[in-house]
């Protein structure tokens, strides 16, 4: 470790300065965001939202279309009046993650994998987020990562998933220390990082980060999170390049008004692959209070997924899933094209042809 990297409180390494600055300069004021994208409060249906405040980094704002209240990137981050609606069936913790907590900062739902809440904050606040009501304060990690006790104690754990919040909110030195602690646990073979940071602040992919992940004995998978092709501009694709030496995957959420068309989903898969990323999961949105207006039903989800299958090679079709508490894995909703019935003439013809 270099001298500058020793303490979490020291000045950032030189290549960390740009992303730290982008983080600090994120837009948090609704009127400023609306001015930047040239959309009025009325057009956008915008509303201030205190419990989960607006936060969006400027490199992400730069990819929004000016004057378009329906821009798919804007819609992901803009608080609207619709969030105040109380919709039956939508709850603060629909995934019952409270019940999955193994220890402070450690969730265990599936065999062989433990998910660590490595950081409580995110660079961007996504309005549809299933963890928007999550009590991060109860899961804060101290200096020596107490959550890892739960990993050490369970020899069945082969993979540690760093999630959050966003684990790449940690500075490189702290992340390197965490990876070092994990690789000392003999039974752990794989390290997975779930992060949206390389998408919203491409400068987060520093040489220091890539070096840390390249040096560990653990097999590494990086799972980024993009929902629309417009999120992957040139800077973002360039940042993803050095991560393609690891298993580099993407998960998306199917969101009404953002990516709920076959065209948008197909474009996203193709743009991801151009940037070296394979689609992994397409999640049906969870029933989280305040997010009902993003909802896409199961039937529509299956229909869109079939259209993707008809238009793309299999490796560019993400698995359509939903999270159902109590199941041993995420619930797979992908249908075989053969089971298509009605309304999908294009698909049927393609099968005959
Ligand atoms: C989603 C999730 C995982 C990862 O599931 P995979 O199917 O392996 O991607 C692991 N742990 C928890 C608690 C999760 O919510
Ligand atoms: S980056 Fe992920 S965890 Fe953070 S607000 Fe967005 S969806 Fe939620």
pLDDT in tens, 218-274: 999 999 999 999 999 999 999 999 999 999 999 999 999 999 999 999 999 999 999
* Ligand with smallest separation from the Cα of 113: 1
Alpha carbon dihedral 294, 300, 302, 305, in 10-degree steps, equals -70
With a 6 A CB cut-off, is 129 part of the ligand 2 pocket? yes
Tell me: pLDDT of 136 over 80.
no
pLDDT for the residue 339: 52
Q: What is the mean pLDDT of residues 29-49?
A: 93
d(CA 309, CA 317): 6
Q: Is the CB of 204 under 6 A from ligand 2?
A: no
Task: List the alpha helices (DSSP H) in the chain.
Answer: 17-24, 30-37, 41-44, 58-61, 72-77, 97-100, 148-152, 172-183, 197-200, 207-215, 234-240, 262-274, 298-311, 345-352
107 lines ligand 1 (CB under 6 A): yes
pLDDT of residue 235: 98
Q: Are 296 and 284 in contact (CB under 8 A)?
A: yes
In the chain, what's the furthest Cα-to-Cα distance?
A: 66
Cβ neighbours of residue 210 under 8 Å, at least 6 residues apart?
Answer: 242, 243, 245
Regarding the beta carbon of 127 and ligand 2, being less than 6 Å apart is answered no
Query: Is it the case that residue 5 has pLDDT exceeding 80?
Result: no
pLDDT of the residue at 353 = 32
Mean pLDDT within 178-198: 98
Query: Ligand 2 center to residue 48 CA distance, Å?
Result: 19
CA of 18 to the centre of ligand 2 (A): 21
Give the number of the ligand closest to the Cα of residue 134: 2
Instruction: Decide whether any atom of ligand 1 lies within 6 Å of the 283 Cβ.
Output: no
pLDDT value at residue 59 = 98
By three-state DSSP, how is residue 301 classified? helix
Ligand nearest to the CA of 194: 2
Task: Decide: 115 in ligand 1 pocket, CB within 6 A.
Answer: yes
Distance CA 257, CA 176 (A): 39
Angle between helix 172-183 and 207-215 (nearest 10): 0
- Write down the pLDDT at residue 132: 77
Measured from the CA of 115, which atom of ligand 1 is nearest? Answer: 11
How many Å lie between the centroid of ligand 1 and the Cα of residue 221?
13
- For 295, the 3-state DSSP assignment is coil
Residue 251 neighbours by CB distance under 10 Å: 19
Q: What is the DSSP letter of 163?
A: E
Whole-angstrom CA distances from 333 to 292, 299, 317 are 20, 10, 13
Residues with Cβ within 8 Å of 227's Cβ and at least 6 positions away in sequence, in order, are: 72, 76, 252, 253, 255, 258, 259, 268
For residue 173, the CA-to-ligand 1 centroid distance in Å is 26
Model pLDDT for residues 321-347, shown as the tens digit of each residue: 999 888 999 999 976 665 545 445 444
Residue 200 Cβ inside 6 Å of ligand 2? The answer reads no
The string of pLDDT tens digits covering residues 290-313 is 899 999 999 999 999 999 999 999
Does 126 score more than 90 pLDDT? yes
The overall average pLDDT reported for the chain is 90
Q: In angstroms, what is the span from residue 121 Cα to ligand 2's centroid?
A: 9
Q: Could you tell me if the CB of 101 is within 6 A of ligand 1? A: no
- Identify the CA nearest to 281 among candidates 231, 226, 344: 226
pLDDT of residue 98: 76
For residues 184-208, average pLDDT: 98
Query: Do residues 264 and 303 touch, judged by C-beta distance below 8 A?
Result: no
């Amino acid at each position: 470790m270099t001298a500058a990297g020793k303490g979490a409180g020291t000045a950032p390494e030189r290549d960390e300065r740009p992303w730290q600055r982008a983080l600090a300069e994120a837009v948090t004021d609704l009127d400023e965001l609306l001015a930047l994208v040239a959309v009025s409060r009325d057009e956008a249906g915008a509303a201030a939202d205190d419990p989960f405040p607006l936060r969006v980094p400027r490199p992400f704002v730069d990819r929004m279309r000016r004057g378009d209240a329906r821009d798919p990137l804007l819609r992901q981050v803009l608080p609207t009046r619709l969030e105040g609606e109380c919709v039956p069936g939508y709850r603060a913790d629909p995934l019952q993650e409270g019940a999955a907590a193994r220890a402070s900062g450690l969730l265990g739902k599936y065999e062989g994998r433990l998910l660590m809440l490595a950081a409580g904050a995110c660079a961007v606040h996504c309005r549809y987020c299933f963890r928007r009501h999550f009590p991060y304060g109860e899961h804060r990690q101290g200096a020596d990562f107490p959550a890892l006790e739960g990993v050490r104690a369970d020899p069945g754990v082969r993979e540690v998933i760093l999630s959050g919040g966003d684990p790449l909110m940690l500075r490189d030195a702290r992340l390197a220390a965490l990876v070092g602690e994990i690789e000392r646990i003999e039974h752990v073979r794989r390290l997975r990082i779930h992060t949206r940071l390389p998408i919203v602040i491409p400068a987060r992919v520093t040489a220091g980060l890539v070096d840390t992940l390249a040096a560990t004995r653990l097999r590494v998978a990086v799972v980024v999170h993009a929902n629309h092709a417009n999120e992957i501009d040139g800077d973002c694709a360039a940042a993803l390049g050095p991560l393609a030496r690891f298993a580099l995957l993407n998960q998306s959420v199917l969101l009404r008004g953002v990516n709920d068309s076959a065209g948008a989903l197909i474009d996203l898969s193709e743009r991801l692959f151009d940037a070296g990323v394979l689609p992994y999961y397409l999640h049906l949105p969870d029933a989280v209070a305040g997010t009902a207006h993003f909802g896409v039903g199961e039937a529509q989800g299956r229909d869109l997924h079939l259209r993707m299958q008809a238009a793309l090679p299999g490796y560019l079709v993400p698995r359509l899933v939903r999270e159902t508490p109590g199941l041993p894995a995420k619930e797979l909703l992908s249908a075989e094209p053969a089971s298509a019935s009605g309304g999908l003439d294009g698909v049927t013809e393609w099968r005959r042809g």
